[in-house]
Amino acid sequence: MPATKFICPDGNCVPIEDCLRGCPNCQRCMFLPTLRAVANSLDRQISEPTVTELIAGTRETFLKKTTDYAVDPASILYAIHGQAVHSINERHTQGEILSEERLKDDITSGQFDLFGKILDTDEGVLGDLKVTSSFKLMKALGIYKAKVDTGEVYKSGVKKGQHKFRSELRFDGVRDILDWAIQLNYYRLLLNRAGFKVNRMFIQAICRDSGLRIAAERGITKSVYVIPVYGISDLWLERYFRHKAKALRDAIQSNTLPPVCSFRERWGDRKCLGYCPARQNCPYAQALVNQKENDFDELKIPA
Ligand code: SF4
């Protein structure tokens, strides 16, 4: 079941069809074609679970497929940016590069972005296009902040006598691209099975907040990065996707809410609190919200 309602800026929900027919407020929160594009992007009409749906938490995908939910159209705009980047690239493949093909097997289906001579003379390069934040890029590039002792000490105040530290960027951390790597490797598997040999894989990531101070502070100084993606064994991929597809199928057939998404899938709860489209129907997310509200109430100073 795709999203059925939009959340207006005043917090009220309106059925998407009603919004597109005529905004209940005095003026639309964005142009009508943009709202139509947002609505269109939410209704993908793909019956089998896709690669990206299986990489997400099973509970999230189950709730998105079986319950009505509402989305803030503004929160979908980044996805629309991503689709625009895909369309622009697709229009410039000059007939010699494969693009945007949906491939299927008995587990899932996935649509790769670009395959062919996209970087050099190698015909077997698989490329994926991302529009992402400097925070995600920082992690993907293995950049982190280390605390370095300045050799000075505080001479007064509550920290008197303690060492002073400053933050320094380091560029030798572990590259956190697991979800991207799983996604791209499954496209590689699907392409190989269709008779196309993938030799190398890359992500071209456009930084959506490049140029801002926050991005520079994270060591992100360019607007675009080409990031190599490591290989994952076919056996591991097949087991992982079969397991996730079965868990989702069983949950849908028995109409049983799957266990809470893993720590990684729920971004250590950040996703549940503000980003997961299924959070309105997820008991775990609702419990987190209630807990946060209670913590906040306890902090309030009694009158
Ligand atoms: S709110 Fe959190 S636990 Fe619930 S479906 Fe979304 S990611 Fe999973």
* Candidate of 64, 260, 288 to mutate for ligand 1, largest count of ligand atoms within 8 Å of Cβ: 260
For residues 157 and 6, what is the distance between their CA atoms, to the nearest angstrom?
A: 52
- pTM (two decimals): 0.89
Mean pLDDT of the chain: 93
Q: What is the DSSP letter of 118?
A: S
* Residue 147 domain flag: yes
Residue with the two structure tokens 């520079």: 216
Ligand 1 within 6 A of CB of 271 = yes
Give the per-residue pLDDT at 43. Answer: 77
Percent of the chain with pLDDT over 70: 97
Confidence of residue 12 (pLDDT cuts 50, 70, 90): very high
Ligand 1 mean position to 279 CA, how many Å?
Answer: 6
Is residue 68 in a domain?
A: no
Sign for the CA dihedral angle at 32, 37, 41, 45 comes to positive
Express each pLDDT in 259-289 by its tens digit.
999 999 999 999 999 999 999 999 999 999 9
Q: How far is the CA of 280 from the centre of ligand 1 (A)?
A: 9
Pocket lining: 39 vs ligand 1, CB cutoff 6 Å: no
The residue among 139, 131, 143, 142 whose CA lies nearest residue 203 is 131
Q: Is residue 282 part of a domain?
A: no
pLDDT at 45 over 80: no
**Ligand 1 within 6 A of 240 CB?**
no
Please choose, from the candidates 127, 132, 96, 95, the residue with its C-alpha nearest in 3D space to the C-alpha of residue 114.
127
Q: What is the pLDDT of residue 294?
A: 82
Count up the domains in the chain and report the number: 1
Concatenated DSSP letters of 148-164: EEEEEE--SSTTTTPEE
Tell the residue nearest (CA) to atom 5 of ligand 1.
Answer: 60
Token look-up 């140029």 returns: 211
- Rounded Cα–Cα distance for residues 27 and 49 (Å): 37
CA of 256 to the centre of ligand 1 (A): 15
Cβ of residue 56 lying under 6 Å from some atom of ligand 1:
no
Q: Which two tokens stand for residue 64?
A: 């998105």
Give the domain range for residue 234. Answer: 81-253
Structure confidence by residue, pLDDT tens digits, 54-104: 999 999 999 999 999 999 999 888 888 888 999 999 999 988 999 999 999
How far is 271 from 284, CA to CA, in rounded Å?
11
